[in-house]
Amino acid sequence: MAKTILKSLFKKPATVKYPFGQKVLSEFARGSIYIDISKCIFCGVCQKKCPTGAITVAREEKTWNIARLKCITCGYCVDVCPKKCLRMSNLYTEPMLTKHEDLYKNA
């Protein structure tokens, strides 16, 4: 036990004081899903593959909708998108006070 204590004295802490410093995330960390709506063909494959049903695609209205609190950031939608308009960033979803969905509309 003394050996572990001595090692810990000369190392940096493993944690970060959150409000004053943010943890540096790797580029492979799974965060939020983002869409380039101009590339989307509204095929609905991402909606069918989403295990939680967080994504809703309306082909007629040309809308793409995601419920951020339902999304488990598994990345299935990104993998199956035929046009590769979906991407996953390494930044986490911002905290929310109310449940809402992000609606993207193609003009």
| Per-domain residue ranges of the chain | 24-105
Average pLDDT, the chain: 88
Which CATH code fits 24-105?
3.30.70.3270
The tens digit of pLDDT for each residue in 52-66 reads: 999 999 999 999 999
Q: Which long-range contacts (CB under 8 A, 24 or more apart) does 99-103 make?
A: 99/67, 99/69, 100/68, 101/56, 101/65, 101/66, 101/67, 101/68, 102/65, 102/66, 102/68, 103/63, 103/64, 103/65
What digits encode the pLDDT tens for the residues 25-43? 777 778 889 999 999 999 9
pTM higher than 0.75, yes or no?
no
